[in-house]
Amino acid sequence: MPVTDKVPVHLLVNGEAYEVMVPPYKTLLEVLREDLGLTGTKHGCELGECSMCGVLVDGKPYLSCLAMPLDLQQAEISTVEGLANGNEPHPLQRAFAELGAAQCGYCTPAMLLTAKSLLDSNPRPSREAIRQALAGVLCRCTGYLKIFEAVELAAARSSTSPPAAHV
């Protein structure tokens, strides 16, 4: 098959079903940005070192720059565009904005999604659990502290249980 041939790919992104014709070598990152117009997911190193391209696949953090869409036709993909509920920002988005957890904003989509994945499995994580969960997502602006605080604020608002002492 010549590499220029396109193949149909079915993707479920943010709860919407898409069918696109794309060359099979295109990464999920490229398909999201170029074919689906979902440019919230960012290009970073394309080597799996920085996680700027992070999305959720079946609820888990996933590097879209290293993922092939053909492998993910059965999966549920979430991007930052799917976080808000209409005009209502996700609690994490609201907390990030209120506490200044975003500066240049380039890492913010991946940070938000990675934090969401953490809170979905651990609604009141300890500071240490947050640090470990976000370890793969690089931020060059914030020194991370306000990001930790924003995740804690969002967790506190969404949950009635106290934060875990460990893990």
Residues at the site binding another protein, with contacts judged by CB under 8 A: 3, 23, 25, 42-47, 49-50, 52, 99-100, 103-107, 130-132, 134-148
Cα–Cα distance for residue pair 62/53, rounded to 1 Å: 8
Of residues 75 and 107, the one with the C-beta less far from another protein: 107
Of residues 75 and 102, the one with the C-beta less far from another protein: 102
CA–centroid distance for 112 within its chain: 6
CA-based angle 127:63:27, to the nearest 5?
165
Sign of the dihedral defined by the CA atoms of residues 145, 151, 155, 158, in that order: positive
Cα–Cα distance for residue pair 84/22, rounded to 1 Å: 28
Across the strands, what pairs with 21?
8
Of residues 58 and 135, the one with the C-beta less far from another protein: 135
CB 46 to another protein: min, Å: 7
CB 76 to another protein: min, Å: 26
Sign of the dihedral defined by the CA atoms of residues 82, 77, 107, 37, in that order: negative
CA–centroid distance for 24 within its chain: 23
Of residues 65 and 77, the one with the C-beta less far from another protein: 65
Of residues 36 and 102, the one with the C-beta less far from another protein: 102
